[in-house]
Amino acid sequence: MQREDAIVNELCVDAVFTGSKPFYKETAQRWLYRKPNLIWKLVILVALGIGGMYICISGVDKRVAYYREMISLTANNEIWTKGPCSKVNVAEMFSLHYFRESRLKRDECGCKPTNYFVILSMQRSGSGWFEALLNSHPNISSHGEIFSVERRRKSVTTMIPTLSTVYNLDWVSSASKNHCVTAVGLKWMLNQGVMEYKSEIAAYLKKNSISIIFLFRRNLVRRYISILANSFDQVAKQINGRHFAHVHSEEEAKVLAAYKPVVNLTFLIPYLKRVEEIIVDAQDSFKEIRHMTVYYEDLVSNQKKELRRVQKFLGVKPTQLNSQHVKVHTQPLQEQINNWKELEEFLKGTRYEIFLRGKDYG
């Protein structure tokens, strides 16, 4: 028995000793270093802690000093600061509170706050025209339908960096206004991922103090006619063999308006209901975000007043805005629809009947 035990012992020891270093040597080495190792670790930990606290405190300190320097309020609501930003309007700064890092790069306009906005809309609601009007302001940059490009709206992880680029004033488009932009944003259709990722987007908008301009069209039947005409032109390419979603001359508008679609009555009511649902859902999903709603019809009938309201909302100085856009459909609805009589009969007594009357006004 004892002999056997000894053999087993030997085997075990052998097993331990196989390897380049004998077991006892390693143990000895570990033993040698263990204690200092622990102490070193503690020292490093404490040093890191102190360093972290220092960075944190000095950072806060610097920030406090920075604000203390900046904020010496005067009676007429202005802040006096040292350095390049000598005078900032406090109402402007804190109601909109987007005093950003990027101001450092903004040269002579670096001391003015930049406001962020997004136009949430649906196709054929006048958003192209609306955006062109906004971009005629020297201090507004609205970068267009950035998310019409599918890969940018594939998921939240592709949307957020795209949005950040826009709001960091790093997006380059024909609407870029360099240093003196006071309001920056884009146009985003509800069916371009907005509703799909509504909660994530709402969180992002809220976190970054981005305001929403909802742009909707009240008359959903007219909107539908516009969609049909636009889809037709996508295929027919009526002007010089090219498709135009917006036109800039009366002649071109006439060409596009000449097409009279047949309205599919089976499809119409469920479709109008669905659109209404989407609008309600959008307004509900983003109700926590600072927003305003603009209706295309009001913009047509009272352009000056509506644009003034929008410019105030964006925190820019209201000015006369212009666009080269020409409205395509200006005739009464019965002249735009092939099966008008049928449609009129069909909608009689429904709540959509009202859409058949009157113009785009009111």
Ligand X SMILES: *[C@@H]1O[C@H](CO)[C@@H](O)[C@H](O)[C@H]1NC(C)=O
Positions touching ligand X (CB under 6 A) are: 109, 112, 138-139, 180, 182, 264, 266-267
Nearer CB in complex with ligand X: 66/267: 267
What is the nearest approach in angstroms of ligand X to the Cβ of residue 138?
4
What is the nearest approach in angstroms of ligand X to the Cβ of residue 297?
27
What is the nearest approach in angstroms of ligand X to the Cβ of residue 337?
15
Nearer CB in complex with ligand X: 137/291: 137
Nearer CB in complex with ligand X: 88/294: 88
Nearer CB in complex with ligand X: 240/266: 266
Nearer CB in complex with ligand X: 199/266: 266
CA atoms within 13 A on the CB side of 61: 6
What is the nearest approach in angstroms of ligand X to the Cβ of residue 164?
22
What is the nearest approach in angstroms of ligand X to the Cβ of residue 131?
18
Q: Which two tokens stand for residue 102?
A: 């990027």
Nearer CB in complex with ligand X: 197/232: 232
Nearer CB in complex with ligand X: 109/203: 109
Helices 127-135 and 303-314: crossing angle in degrees, nearest 10, is: 60
What is the nearest approach in angstroms of ligand X to the Cβ of residue 109?
5
What is the nearest approach in angstroms of ligand X to the Cβ of residue 269?
11
